[in-house]
Amino acid sequence: MSEATSRTRVRRIPDRGHYDAATIHSVLDAALLCHVGFTVDEQPYVIPTLFARDGEHVVFHGSAASRMLRHAATSVPVCLEVAIVDAIVLARSVFNHSMNYRSVLVLGAAEIVTDDEEKLRALELISEHVLPGRWADVRPPSAKELKATSVLRLSLKEASAKIRTGPPLDEDEDYALPIWAGVLPVAATRGQAVPDPRMTQEFPGIPLPAYLKPR
């Protein structure tokens, strides 16, 4: 269960803050990419990576040679963030333009997953989070590939969500201005799948998997 702490409590417009597990889970489950922040020798870095929620944890992966994963695996503090833009909010003044969004911030010390079965399970979770149904279709990682991959687990105990919805919030006097204002929805959509040219040459009869068809 997540907790609101002095580090995760939303201070800027606090009524947009959410600390319940259901809200935090829903945002994490809807996002495809996370950013992990860490510091090495007083130099901060932020790296994008794929992830998945595993109950009350987040798992993310990368090359075993990755500086981020090698450093994060030493139990140093990390910050994981996801954000989803739902709309551009157009106000009557430039100052009050905004976005409708859903975001989650997670703080803690990530732990490395060392058990091969747990690592494989985490990789399946990440694959199924990005594209449900794909894992069953493809070759699983070899022992060599599994060794070359690091998986980290981060608890959601210290996490918060911040969400904005609704129309623009203008200054009272600006509502009288003859300027269009409102909300422009933004949505990520999947396009038409493009086959690998080598697949079409060598295996022209492979049908498009159902999970890749337009919805």
Q: Which pLDDT score, from 0 to 100, does residue 30 have? A: 97
> Which mean pLDDT values do the consecutive 10-residue runs of the chain (215 residues) have?
70 84 97 92 89 96 70 79 98 97 95 92 97 95 91 94 96 96 94 88 86 84
Say if residues 72 and 39 touch (Cβ distance below 8 Å). Answer: no
pLDDT tens digit sequence for 25-81: 999 999 999 999 988 888 888 999 999 999 999 999 877 667 666 666 677 789 999
Q: What is the CATH number of the domain that holds 154?
A: 2.30.110.10
For residue 40, the tally of other CB atoms under 10 A from its CB is: 12
Residue 191 lies in a domain: no
Q: Which pLDDT score, from 0 to 100, does residue 65 have? A: 64
Residue 194 lies in a domain: no
Q: What is the 3-state secondary structure (H, E, C) of 87-135?
A: EEEECCCHHHCEEEEEEEEEEEECEECCCHHHHHHHHHHHHHHHCCCCH
Q: Which pLDDT score, from 0 to 100, does residue 86 have? A: 97
Residue 2 lies in a domain: no
Residue 135 lies in a domain: yes
Rounded Cα–Cα distance for residues 28 and 58 (Å): 9
Say if residues 47 and 39 touch (Cβ distance below 8 Å). Answer: no
pTM above 0.75, yes or no: yes
Residue 41 lies in a domain: yes
Question: Number of folded domains in the chain?
Answer: 1
Residue 178 lies in a domain: no
Helices within the chain (DSSP H only): 21-30, 67-72, 116-130, 143-147, 197-202
Domain hosting residue 145, numbered range: 14-86+97-169
